[in-house]
Chain A
Amino acid sequence: MSPDALLFVLLAYLSAALLACFSRRLGYALGAAASAAAASLSLYVLLGGGGTELPLQVGVELSLNRFDAYFLLVSSLVWLGTCVYSMDYDDDYPAALSPLFLLTILSMTVILVAGDAVSFLMAWETMTIASFFMILQGRGRREDVRRAAFLFLAFGEASTVLIMVSFAAMYASLGSFQFLGAGVGRVVGAYAPIAFLAALLGFGLKMGLVPFHVSEWLPIAHSNAPSNASAVLSSTLTLMGVYGFMNVMSRLAPYQLWWGWLALSIGGVSALLGASFASTSEHFKGLPAYSTIENNGLILVALGVYLLAARYQLSLMADVALVAAMYHAFSHAVSKASLFSVMGWLSKVRRSFDLNAAARGTAPGPMRATAMAAVLSLAAAPPFAGFVSEWMVLEVLFQSFKFPDVASQLIGTVVGALVALATGIVTVAMTKAYGFGVLLSGKGEGSPALRGSGWYFLSLVTGLGVAAPLVFFLAADAASGVLGGQVFGTFVTGLLGVPAYFVILSGRPFGGFSPTFTAIFMLGMLAVPLAVARVGGAWRPRRVAGWFAGAARPSDEGEMYNSFGYSSPFRIMLRLLFRTRESVLRAGAARATGEYFVDVRIVDVFRRFYDISAKWALALSRETGRYVMPGRMGRYLAYIMLAMMFVLAYILLVAG
């Protein structure tokens, strides 16, 4: 395929960003169109249309191979929906939001198509800085927003530096920066562990993993960043981390055992902590943001299994794990963007981020349906995509006994338990998000763009589960180009009358499962009785009042179960984890008289980490500020940018 198509997509995004300076609606519309084009392009490449390369004169090259195309497909599908959603969401934010939003998307696209390390890093840096400015547009106390944005930047730079270290190690071994495109051999020797570790940390920062996730979750969750920005950051920015990490992984050989152990442990702990804090979050966007940590933890767990299985040459297991990671990345990106769009909209119309606040605003029907599908998917309920991928992750973990050494078995089993626990806990978070966020908010009318984005995301989330075999096919195919020898046919099959390719096998002999047919079956279970009831005349719905233990319906909100109460059992049960402190103050001397004031707090380990690192980062900036530039953050930023560009240009010249 001619490189024109790729160039066209990039130019379309660029013009969208420029157009957005004048009309944000038009900008978003063009962004949506560009995303549609990007999605078609990547699908074309994935379905065998051949890669496309776009050599630029300055020594960098942009190329779209199948692996890139898979991630571009995921991202552009998300962007398409988010752009449409933004047309009506972003009507009262500063004008700078929409160009920055589109610029972020553009830079992410470049990351995916970068053929060499240098252009990758430049795009990476642009993405970080564009998102930084996007976060600065957030609402809330000026100081908080700034602090959050600054922290995002500080960690973004840390991430960049670590990635540079990783790339440098690879360069030292391979002697070339062209290692992101077609295969150019593998990094060996002492450089490999350095490259791995630096990449795990650097990309892990972007994926929001424990213990380095603050750069992601904080601004998304706590600075009241615009929700369309949150959606894009939480779903696709973390996806860039997955993409980058897998890319580096593909260049390393042979895998060492501790890589797998490390990935599994970090992933497992992230999943559990993310799920736990999601379930106790009372914040409209904090809750989905914590859930992002959980999901990226799961992805890392799957990659950890892949690392071990590949090392032990358990090829079927490695295939399943790898595809599970890629499929989960897809399902999470889509579900999370859907959820964020709805939660963002509701928090905007309700003028509160507090799940316990009195519900005032409404969301249009399609968005509510989307939220339902998204929480089901994120809570891993069949037949949605999240269920399929979590099933696969758990299945491969349950097969840890196949690992030949005890340490791997043990770690695999323990992480399996963590993941299973996380999956259970996150169900609470999701039912809470839906119940107290969406359900209580009620149904309302909405603009065509909002309704459209609702329908779009709804069909995406549901379609992804039903069409799982197709996605496997694409993912396996995409991965085979980069990570080597996987054959789609090894783990999908036909079984018990289900046609070929529709059953996933997680091992031989082990579990099997058909997402498509489960979906059809479940639909049948629902539809057939309904149809019978309707046709048979037994369909006589009767509305009765709610049941309040025989009492009258409570008249005020203070008499209803609230979101906080819903997750309090966790705060109390997992008091060791949350370090819960409950105190009840009674005014008045006698114990049994007077007013009661309740204060329940948990120690948020993430928040703790944030506070410590913020102190550290601010101290650092004060120090640097004293020498380099007195006081102003804007100039400091410009300084960082320049320094980065300078380093990159230097590398370019030397290496070029």
Chain B
Amino acid sequence: MWVLRGLRKGILTTGYPGKGLAPDEVPRSSFPPTPSADADWAKGGGLCPTGAIQGERVDAGRCVYCRRCKDAGFRFEGPAPGPMASERAALARRVLGRSLHVLVLDVGSCNGCNMEVLNLANPYYDFNRLGIFFTNTPKHADVLLAVGALNKAMVETLKRTYESMPEPKFVVAAGACAMSGGVFKDTDGFASPLGDAVPVDVEIPGCPPTPLQLLDGLLLIGGRRRAP
């Protein structure tokens, strides 16, 4: 019966990354602030709550997409900021082939990132078709996908988890919180950006990054996509 119900729904899954995106698939929560011609950088820097606007540059790792800076002449339009990867990540293909086992580790997130990570499994994104799977133990994981602002209480756990993973291993820091602490960077519980605790291979900006951005970031490992 459930099979029938399933079939009746037709195909929802995005053609991405093979095909381009249909307009309603464009991720919405993270349009990056784009300076217009008359953007006032100094004013933007004053408005920005996370210090993402520095000089004449927007630091994607800090931006939480609050759209405050629109008063300083920044517009919000696509494309979503792409992930950033270290050199090493692209080399993973030789050792990992086309399958990735991902351990999701919450080191202090607000659950927004967790929700988006879980959404990778929904039929719209269906990450299993790309050979990506969740695993529950670091001993089976190729990739540590960390979300949230690294909390002081989680530093030990993070390191322990990283240690327990077999080589070769890769770390993905997803979301502004993991990359820089986001809005929490000055709270008491915040320890450090993820990269200060373990070597990070891929960074995915966003607050939270949409499932497509996460997918993009994961595909960078093994060089299945190029960094933009």
Contact = CB atoms under 8 A, between A and B. Distances in A.
Instruction: Decide if A and B touch, CB cutoff 8 A.
Output: yes
Interface of A: 542, 544-545, 547, 550-552
Interface of B: 105, 137-139, 156-157, 160-161, 163-164, 166-167
Contacts, number: 18
Contacts of A545: 160, 163-164
Contacts of B156: 552
B59 to A, nearest CB: 30
Contacts of A551: 157
A544 B140 CA distance: 13
Contacts of B167: 542
Nearest to B154: A550
Nearest to A553: B160
A550 B157 contact: yes
Contact of B161 (A542, A550, A552): A550
A545 B157 CA distance: 12
8 contacts: A544-B164, A545-B163, A547-B137, A547-B138, A547-B139, A550-B157, A550-B160, A550-B161
Closest 10 A/B residue pairs (Cβ)? A550-B157, A544-B164, A547-B164, A544-B163, A550-B161, A547-B137, A547-B139, A547-B138, A550-B160, A545-B163
Nearest to B105: A550
A542 B169 CA distance: 14
B147 to A, nearest CB: 14
Contacts of A542: 166-167
Report which residue of A544, A545, A551, A552 has the largest number of chain B beta carbons within 10 angstroms of its beta carbon. A544
A539 to B, nearest CB: 14
Contacts of B138: 547
A4 B174 CA distance: 85
Report which residue of A542, A545, A547 has the largest number of chain B beta carbons within 10 angstroms of its beta carbon. A547
Contacts of B161: 550
Report which residue of A542, A545, A547, A550 has the largest number of chain B beta carbons within 10 angstroms of its beta carbon. A550
A598 to B, nearest CB: 28
A552 B160 CA distance: 8
Nearest to B156: A552
Report which residue of B105, B137, B156, B164 has the largest number of chain A beta carbons within 10 angstroms of its beta carbon. B164
B117 to A, nearest CB: 17
Contacts of B160: 545, 550, 552
Nearest to B137: A547
A460 B26 CA distance: 68
Contacts of A544: 163-164
A550 B166 CA distance: 15
A552 B159 CA distance: 11
A550 to B, nearest CB: 4
Contacts of A552: 156, 160
A552 B155 CA distance: 12
Given A544-B164, A547-B137, A550-B157, 15 more contacts: A542-B166, A542-B167, A544-B163, A545-B160, A545-B163, A545-B164, A547-B138, A547-B139, A547-B164, A550-B105, A550-B160, A550-B161, A551-B157, A552-B156, A552-B160
A246 B227 CA distance: 77
Contacts of B163: 544-545
B63 to A, nearest CB: 30
Contacts of A550: 105, 157, 160-161
A600 to B, nearest CB: 29
A495 B103 CA distance: 47
Contacts of B139: 547
A542 B167 CA distance: 10
B77 to A, nearest CB: 40
Nearest to B167: A542
Contacts of A547: 137-139, 164
